[in-house]
Amino acid sequence: MKEITEGLFVLRDEEYRKFHAKLMPNIDPERIIGVRTPALRKYAKEIAKEPVVWDFLEELPHTYYEENNLHGALLSLCYKNLDDYLEKLERFLPYIDNWATCDMMSPKVFRKDLSKVYGKVQEWIQSSRTYTIRFAVVTLLQFFLDDAFLPEHLELVASVHSEEYYVKMAVAWYFSIALVKQYDTTIGYFTTPVLETWTHNKALQKATESLRIDKERKSYLKSLKIKG
């Protein structure tokens, strides 16, 4: 909706726009307004109860990157019922075209029924769309590496095979955090390599950069790097 988009332009930071455009080379810079995430989230909360928001959420695809980010933020604010949220999320996922929009969505409503969410994750991870797969992997990272963790989650993520950089990076990110939070179950994926070489090494690199892994363990993880 025009008035909602105009509100985003009011929040424009030109220097930030130039900087952020460099982080997303696959997005046309003309589609980036230049709104910092805290300002966008605040704006979402301000307009969430406005009637015009419902029309905005029905208007897909959006033109601007920040409109997609706003859409993702508004879904969490406007839909507190998990089934309703999932229905609207399914409609939105095909329009996500970058890592930042994908990763900023961490809906608290998922915690209402993680078993149902896991069922959706198993569907999303089989998608042919880059950012739907990434969203599935990031959802496992955000919601399923603590009390809800199961060893089969590692198997599911390890089964992802893609040449897409942002999918490979998500898998590496997931396994790096798994090494932090579920080390004993995860380490076998590196002592007997399962992941593709690039992903294996990137996961180890990110894990050894973590402040939550001690020096002795970091040294061991570094020794597991695949050379060549």
Contact 162, 193 (CB under 8 A): no
Q: What is the pLDDT of residue 30?
A: 96
Q: What is the pLDDT of residue 152?
A: 98
Peptide bond into 61 cis (omega under 30): yes
Cα separation, 161 vs 168, whole angstroms: 8
Q: What is the pLDDT of residue 21?
A: 94
Q: How many helices (H) and strands (E) does the chain have?
A: 15, 0
Supply 122's token pair.
């198993």
Q: What is the pLDDT of residue 74?
A: 98
Q: What is the pLDDT of residue 43?
A: 98
Q: What is the pLDDT of residue 217?
A: 97
What are the pLDDT tens digits along the chain (228 aa)?
A: 689 999 999 999 999 999 999 999 999 999 999 999 999 999 999 999 999 999 999 999 999 999 999 999 999 999 999 999 999 999 999 999 999 999 999 999 999 999 999 999 999 999 999 999 999 999 999 999 999 999 999 999 999 999 999 999 999 999 999 999 999 999 999 999 999 999 999 999 999 999 999 999 999 999 999 996
Note the pTM of the prediction, 2 decimals.
0.96
Cα separation, 57 vs 70, whole angstroms: 9
Contact 79, 109 (CB under 8 A): yes
At residue 12, the 3 state secondary structure works out as coil
3-state DSSP percent of the chain in helix, strand and coil, to 5? 70, 0, 30
- Give DSSP secondary structure letters for 30-93: GG-----HHHHHHHHHHHTTSTHHHHHHH--S-SSHHHHHHHHHHHHHH--SHHHHHHHHHHHG
Cα separation, 72 vs 106, whole angstroms: 9
